[in-house]
Amino acid sequence: MSEQLAIVRAAIARAAAIARRDPAEITLIAVSKTRTVDEIAPLIAAGQRVFGENRVQEAEDKWPALRDADRGLSLHLVGQLQSNKAAAAIALFDAIHSVDRPSLVDALGNAMARSDRRPDCFVQVNIGAEPQKGGVAIAELPALLERVRAAGLPLAGLMCVPPAEVEPAPYFALLAKLAREHGVAGLSMGMSGDVETAVMLGATHVRVGTALFGARR
Ligand SMILES: *Cc1c(COP(=O)(O)O)cnc(C)c1O
């Protein structure tokens, strides 16, 4: 197994043990944005099956060949999605972590109605109320969740990217509280720098790039 993969898995297992959680409840998404097929292949060979990309076009360029070679791979979109790419995203991804506005909910609903594909949807919350970041404002979350449910999207969870350079735990705890309040099961939170904290606070999906692949160029 790749050494980095073993290290990340061990960190998840350690945090799960402290929180008395079953590590099998936690999905490790290897975020492979900017990485080449040659960089990704060793991780697949080491047993990693779930990957994340942040651009539809880049994923369309890289993944069809990798998936033809290994049918068991699952691909998650972790970056912002334009409504006009909803159909392309549904065709390619098994989960979408960036559902954050009514127009996108409608576009995904329409695209799913015309497709036999139903990727898991995570509603991204702008948990630190940062103007430059994607995600629905906390005040608008109830209405957006209602719209997601009315549109029949498979609602898998909430997702967040907390503010950089500050302690992330309060933001993870807040996302978990919002998920509880709204009856949402999944929590997509935790990146290379804060995986263990996220797992201790209930993450069901962690999105890890740098710790698996090294620093991005
Ligand atoms: C790039 C990215 C990650 C992975 O970040 P690392 O710090 O490299 O682990 C996770 N989530 C999102 C939304 C990303 O864009």
**Each residue's pLDDT tens digit, 162-175:** 999 999 999 999 99
Domain that holds residue 101: 2-213
Instruction: Encode pLDDT of 1-58 as tens digits.
Output: 589 999 999 999 999 999 999 999 999 999 999 999 999 999 999 999 999 999 999 9
pLDDT band at 71 (very low <50, low <70, confident <90, very high): confident
* Res. 217: pLDDT tops 80: no
In whole angstroms, give the CA distance from residue 16 to residue 12: 6
Q: For residue 118, count other CB atoms closer than 10 A to its CB.
A: 13
How would you write 114-168 as a 3-class SS string?
A: CCCCCCEEEEEECCCCCCCCCCECHHHHHHHHHHHHHCCCCEEEEECCCCCCCCC
Counting ligand 1 atoms within 8 A of each CB, the residue from 172, 191, 196, 213 with the most, and so the one to mutate, is 191
* Res. 205: pLDDT tops 80: yes
* Res. 74: pLDDT tops 60: yes
Ligand 1 lined by 76 (C-beta under 6 Å): no
pLDDT band at 202 (very low <50, low <70, confident <90, very high): very high
In whole angstroms, give the CA distance from residue 87 to residue 92: 9
Q: Tell which residue, 168, 150, 175, has the closest CA to residue 97.
A: 175
State in Å: Cα 17 to ligand 1 middle. Answer: 24
Q: Is 100 helix (H, G, I), strand (E, B) or coil?
A: coil
Q: Which two tokens stand for residue 8?
A: 């990340």
In whole angstroms, give the CA distance from residue 185 to residue 203: 10
Atom of ligand 1 nearest to the CA of 213: 8
State in Å: Cα 29 to ligand 1 middle. Answer: 10
Q: How many domains in the chain?
A: 1
Ligand 1 lined by 35 (C-beta under 6 Å): no
In whole angstroms, give the CA distance from residue 76 to residue 202: 19
Q: Tell which residue, 181, 182, 178, 172, has the closest CA to residue 202.
A: 172
User: Average pLDDT for residues 98-105, to the nearest whole number?
Assistant: 98
Ligand 1 lined by 209 (C-beta under 6 Å): yes
Query: What integer pLDDT is reported at residue 216 of this predicted model?
Result: 85
Strand segments (E) across the chain: 27-31, 50-53, 74-77, 95-99, 120-124, 155-159, 186-188, 205-208
Query: What integer pLDDT is reported at residue 21 of this predicted model?
Result: 98
Ligand 1 lined by 31 (C-beta under 6 Å): yes
Q: What is the pTM of this model?
A: 0.97
Q: What percent of the chain has pLDDT over 70?
A: 100
State in Å: Cα 193 to ligand 1 middle. Answer: 10
CATH of the domain at 152: 3.20.20.10
Ligand 1 lined by 28 (C-beta under 6 Å): no
Q: What is the DSSP letter of 192?
A: T
Query: What integer pLDDT is reported at residue 1 of this predicted model?
Result: 53
Nearest 5°: the CA angle 177, 135, 26 is 55
Q: Are 198 and 189 in contact (CB under 8 A)?
A: yes
Please state, rounded to an integer, the average pLDDT across all residues of the chain. 97
